Amino acid sequence: MAPRLGYVVRFVDALGPAVDFYEGVLGLTLTRRAEHWAQFDCGSVRLGLYERDAMAGVLGVDEAALGRPPGAVELAFEVEDVDAAHAAAVAAGARSFRPPADRYWGERTAYLLDPDGGLVELLTRIRR
C-alpha cells in the first residue's frame, strides 16, 4: 500500500495570528490547539501549524534550518467561488498577493499571503 498523506505542517513565527488567519479568515475548522501547535480539518488532509522556534527546539536545529516563506510551499484551498472567497478574506484583513484570474489549466485562482508571508491559493475549477 502506498503511503497516504496524513497532514501538512506549516511553520509559523507566532501561533495566534496564524490560527486567526486560517480559522477566522479562511474558515477552517480548528480541531486541536496546544501551546505551540494547532491543527485544522481540511477534508482529506489535516493542516498543522507549529511555531518555528518550538519545532527547532524539538529537532535540535537552528530556526534557519526550517526555511522561510514564501519558499517552495504553497497551500491551495478549493472554494466554491474564488472571487467571493478572496473578497471575504481581504475584507477580514488578509493580504492579497494576486487577484482572481482564470488560468489556462482550468482553474480560477487568487493568492493571499498568510501572517508569516506564506503563499495561500484559493481556487475554483472552471469548465473550458
Domain ranges of the chain: 7-125
Q: What is the CATH number of domain 7-125?
A: 3.10.180.10
pTM here?
0.85
Q: What is the pLDDT of residues 15-65, one digit of tens each?
A: 999 999 999 999 999 999 999 999 999 988 999 999 989 999 988 899 888
Contact call for residues 68 and 116 (beta carbons, < 8 A)? no
3 state SS for 37-90: EEEEECCCCEEEEEEHHHHHHHHCCCHHHHCCCCCCCEEEEECCCHHHHHHHHH
